[in-house]
Amino acid sequence: MLTRRTILTTGAASLAAPAALRSALGADKTVKIGNTMPYSGPASAYSSVGKADVGFFKWVNDQGGVNGTKVEFISLDDSYSPPRTVEDVRRLVEQDKVDFLFGTLGTPSNTAIAPYCNSHQIPQLFIGSGADKWGDYEKHRWTIGYQPSYRTEAQIYTKYMLRENPNAKLALLYQNDDFGKDYLIGVRDILGKNWEKVVAKTASYEVTDPTIDSQIADLQNSGADALLAAATPKAAAQAIRKVHDLDWKPMFFMSNVAISVGSVMRPAGVTNGIGIISTRYYKDPTDPAWEADPGMQAFMQFMAKYVPGGDITDSAYVAGYGGSYTMWKVLEACGSDYSRPNVMKQTLSLHELENPVLLPGIKLNTSPTNYHPIRAMQLVRWDGKTWVRFGEVIEGGET
């Protein structure tokens, strides 16, 4: 069972020398990676991402490490609490002497640590947040995201809604932080001056709220016939169940960070969410189309050996695997130089990088002026068993 402090050990204890000096000298042939993850708390459904990360770097070490260097992956439980994330990251940097951070999860959590990481020039890589602001390479030079922008995702839903129902009245449920607010910005990008004409009502919730039932009832009472829920898994499952219980039948869009079969659709009731629309950028482990896919077969073998007992219907494991795979490729490109400037340089030098669990046609690209590695998604619809893809892969929010 994962605890407050989960460390992927690599054998010999690390020397006490500063991370940059250790890397330059190659003293212990170890690269230290720090991570925070909500293994507990209101967003603990995302702990599957961390479990996949831990397993992946164990797999890397079993292959002999990266360029002969072992990986020490230190993952701490921050409970999706920004003050605790700050405490954990200072500990990782100042006590554990990590070389850099990878995959720290959550928009509010990453927002809390970005100033510290950037002022100390600590790479904060492939973070678990699609907030559009992480593309601001001038403000956050040492912080880079991984997944597509939430703002772009909301633009896609709004364009689709207007195409299917030009007279739609939209209700918006959003988490009251930069994650949820990005969806409002994306909707406004498309609606512009028509916002008040199209948007019937908005309602926010706090991630610590025990239920969002009252917000859903208020949104239904607005007369809206379309609903966009910018939610994390717990609230998403509650929203699906409440919409069904109210016999409300809006055109229903759900944020793609909250559509895992294992942690959302099954708890909500698999038949309750039939018809919900979302987006995907990586392969769904419940989609039979991938049964013979080499990338997903490798993922299933990985799960069996390195995350035994993990729920393979929980797509958060795929997300973690995909992010860790990308980090591994960056480490390979570093050669033997794991200094912070070189790790950042290689992170910003991805060109058409293929990832075995991304949807066909989606590749990763970065540069010193492109901090959005993945810019493409495909619409999907829940049929009661899996998420069925439809339409083409959409680049950069264009529909």
Query: What is the tens place of the pLDDT at every residue in 105-154?
Result: 999 999 999 999 999 999 999 999 999 999 999 999 999 999 999 999 99
- Residue range 22-58, pLDDT digits in tens: 444 344 689 999 999 999 999 999 999 999 999 999 9
* Residue 146, token pair as written in the block: 């991984």
- Residue range 145-201, pLDDT digits in tens: 999 999 999 999 999 999 999 999 999 999 999 999 999 999 999 999 999 999 999
Q: E strands along the chain, which residues?
A: 5-8, 30-37, 70-77, 100-102, 124-127, 143-145, 170-175, 199-205, 226-230, 251-254, 277-280, 376-382, 387-395
**Mean pLDDT estimate for the chain:** 93
Lowest mean pLDDT among 11-25, 68-82, 210-224, 257-271: 11-25
C-alpha dist (Å) from residue 53 to 26, 37, 79, 147, 285: 24, 10, 17, 16, 17
| Residue corresponding to tokens 């810019």 | 375
* Residue 333, token pair as written in the block: 């490109």
Coil, helix or strand at residue 45: helix
- Could you give the percent of the chain with pLDDT greater than 70? 92
pTM check: above 0.75? yes
C-alpha dist (Å) from residue 128 to 43, 198, 273, 296, 395: 12, 31, 25, 21, 20
Residue 376 — very low, low, confident or very high, per pLDDT cuts 50/70/90? very high
Q: Do 140 and 134 meet the contact criterion of CB atoms below 8 Å apart?
A: yes
pLDDT of residue 3: 47
How is residue 203 annotated by DSSP? E
- Residue range 291-345, pLDDT digits in tens: 999 999 999 999 999 999 999 999 999 999 999 999 999 999 999 999 999 999 9
